[in-house]
Amino acid sequence: MSRLLIFVVIAAVVYWLLKSYRKKLSRENEREENVPGQAEDMVRCAHCGVHLPKRESIASDGKFYCGEAHRRAHTGKVE
């Protein structure tokens, strides 16, 4: 009887480990599918011409700049 109990406990532990491993794999697959930024719009700095992602640029008067210094230099505004 004790041998049967030991086999049942071992089987339960193996089942639990396999189940948690499969859950971990499915979570990792979901993260890989939901990675933002795989395709992103690029813009060109109106001052120096460098291309950069739109989310990293500074927009002013319909133009994009790579930094605040280039925005000020191109527009001539000192703020």
Q: How far apart are CA 38 and CA 32, in angstroms?
A: 11
Rounded Cα distance between 57 and 68, Å, is: 9
Q: What are the pLDDT digits (tens) for 40-71?
A: 889 999 999 999 999 899 998 899 999 999 99
Q: For the chain, what is the largest distance between any 2 Cα atoms, rounded to a whole number of angstroms?
A: 89
Nearest to 53 by CA among 63, 43, 45: 43
Nearest to 47 by CA among 32, 29, 60: 60
Q: What pTM was computed for the model?
A: 0.49
76 residue type, one letter: G
Q: Are 40 and 46 in contact (CB under 8 A)?
A: no
| Predicted confidence (pLDDT) per residue in 4-44, tens digit | 999 999 999 999 999 999 998 888 777 766 666 567 889 99
